[in-house]
Amino acid sequence: MRYTLAELTERAQHLLKALTERYIRDGQPVGSRVLARDVGLNLSPATIRNVIADLEELGLVRSPHTSAGRVPTVSGYRVFVDTLLSVKPLELSLVGTMKESLGSGVDTKELVQKASSLLSDVTRLAGIVTLPRRNHAALERVEFLPLSEKKVLAVLVLNNKEVRNSILHTARSYSSAELQQFSNFLNAQFAGKELSEVREKLLSELRETRETLDRMMATALEMADQVLGTAEQGSDYVLAGQTNLMGVTEFCDVGRLRQLFEAFNEKKELLGLLDQCVENEGVQIFIGDESGYQMLDECSLVTAPYSVEGKVIGVLGVIGPTRMAYERVIPIVDATARILRAALNSQD
């Protein structure tokens, strides 16, 4: 008898579920005997074996070697998390504790770090949170301060929350009064607009102004352009609890572990992966090498986007072995995304 994925017998589903859960719990190949006792159905090991053989043919489970039990394959996990998993809601008390531990962060970066630690603490795996990309942040105001000969400090205030500053090296010195004029001019023009918009407008104005030869305006615009150029914060993430992964039996091999940690340092690849999650709403899961990055072999990544004012500005998640307690990790990631969003929104 032959099933397609869509029409797995109820029994087969049941067994795949039991097998996966058991394997996640114990980490050891599970055989027909234990499965027979574990699952509610009153079946003999022999019967179980028949069904399991079918599952193996479908590529959902495999045995590490003859005469060991079976373990789920990547496809097996996929089916498990997509259709078989019953996610238990989080205990309210835990959610409370989580909220608290994130609670009072004022600084955005601090919040992100706390969220990452939170994820790793609660799941006992590695937590990862991207820094918010506020492309849509509104420019609140710009301020220029003279520092010294030919050096000007530019202060950018975004959304009343975030502050970025950068030091500009200018061709000549500017007086306080001059800089004040620049600030006023720019604030009048751009305050309240989105950064991307500001940038665009800036360039067009710059072109226009060059023709009219208004020195002051041109200089101001040039300065602003410089600031925006440098202030574009390279997207990045904060990782926490890497050491938790060292306790995981799957990574007892140092070479394996090293590969993983080097992937963490690379950042680029992992960021690419995380970026894919920005679009999809809700929790998303990458299992094993599904991601295409073989450094994440034997790893799973559970992610959720987080947003502020309705716009997704980042992704957070958990990295752990494929054999992780999904039914627990998923609601935790989900909850953390909500908590972080709340914290960011209530930031005053």
Partner DNA sequence: CTTTAGCAGTCTCGCTCGGCGAGTGCTAAC
Partner DNA sequence: GTTAGCACTCGCCGAGCGAGACTGCTAAAG
Per-residue contact flags (x/-) with a second copy for residues 99 to 118, judged by CB under 8 A: -------x------------
Question: According to the binding rule CB under 7 A, does residue 42 interact with DNA?
Answer: yes
Question: According to the binding rule CB under 7 A, does residue 258 interact with DNA?
Answer: no
Q: How far, rounded to the nearest angstrom, does the alpha carbon of residue 141 sit from its chain's CA centroid?
A: 30
> Which residue of 12, 13, 38, 56 would you call a contact of DNA, by CB under 7 A?
56
Tell me how far, at minimum, the Cβ of 245 lies from a second copy, in Å.
9
Question: According to the binding rule CB under 8 A, does residue 168 interact with a second copy?
Answer: no
Tell me how far, at minimum, the Cβ of 339 lies from DNA, in Å.
41
The 10 Å Cβ neighbour count of residue 69 is 20
Q: Which stretch binds DNA (CB under 7 A): 43-51, 87-95, 179-187, 311-319?
A: 43-51
Question: According to the binding rule CB under 7 A, does residue 68 interact with DNA?
Answer: yes
> Which residue of 207, 258, 281, 294 would you call a contact of a second copy, by CB under 8 A?
258
* Inter-CA distances, 255 with 160, 237, 263, Å: 47, 24, 12
> Which residue of 64, 96, 192, 247 would you call a contact of a second copy, by CB under 8 A?
247
Contacts with a second copy in 225-244 (CB under 8 A)?
242-243
- Comparison of 47 and 159: residue with beta carbon closer to DNA: 47
Q: Is 252 left (phi over 0), alpha (psi -120 to 50) or beta?
A: alpha
> Which residue of 16, 20, 24, 29 would you call a contact of DNA, by CB under 7 A?
29
Question: According to the binding rule CB under 7 A, does residue 94 interact with DNA?
Answer: no
Tell me how far, at minimum, the Cβ of 235 lies from DNA, in Å.
43
Quick one: what does residue 345 bind among DNA, a second copy, none, with the CB cut-off 5 to 8 Å set by partner type? none
Q: Which stretch binds a second copy (CB under 8 A): 160-168, 214-222, 277-285, 290-298?
A: 160-168
Q: How far, rounded to the nearest angstrom, does the alpha carbon of residue 338 sit from its chain's CA centroid?
A: 13
**What's phi and psi for 319, nearest 5 deg?**
-115, 130
Question: According to the binding rule CB under 7 A, does residue 33 interact with DNA?
Answer: yes
The 10 Å Cβ neighbour count of residue 47 is 15
Concatenating the DSSP letter of every residue in 169-188 gives E-SS---HHHHHHHHHHHHH
> Which residue of 2, 6, 37, 67 would you call a contact of DNA, by CB under 7 A?
67
Instruction: Establish how many alpha carbons lie within 13 A of residue 330's alpha carbon, considering only the half-sphere containing its beta carbon.
Output: 15
Residues 6+ positions from 140 with CB-CB distance below 8 Å: 157, 158, 159, 160, 191, 192
Concatenating the DSSP letter of every residue in 48-77 gives HHHHHHHHHHTTSEE-SSTTS-BEE-HHHH
Tell me how far, at minimum, the Cβ of 140 lies from a second copy, in Å.
7
Question: According to the binding rule CB under 7 A, does residue 65 interact with DNA?
Answer: yes
Question: How would you classify the pairing of strands 162-169 and 311-321?
Answer: unpaired
Strand partners, 165: 155
Residues 6+ positions from 143 with CB-CB distance below 8 Å: 154, 155, 157, 183
> Which residue of 85, 257, 295, 325 would you call a contact of a second copy, by CB under 8 A?
257
Contacts with a second copy in 5-34 (CB under 8 A)?
none
CA–CA gap between residue 149 and residue 156 (Å, rounded)? 21
Q: Which helix (H) or strand (E) holds 21?
A: helix 10-26
> Which residue of 17, 49, 62, 141 would you call a contact of a second copy, by CB under 8 A?
141
Question: According to the binding rule CB under 7 A, does residue 45 interact with DNA?
Answer: yes
Quick one: what does residue 99 bind among DNA, a second copy, none, with the CB cut-off 5 to 8 Å set by partner type? none
Positions of E strands within the chain:
61-62, 71-72, 126-130, 139-148, 151-158, 162-169, 237-240, 284-287, 299-308, 311-321
Give the footprint of a second copy on this chain (CB under 8 A): 106, 140-141, 143, 145, 147-148, 151, 153, 155, 157, 160, 163, 165, 167, 242-243, 246-247, 251-252, 254, 257-258, 261-262, 265, 348
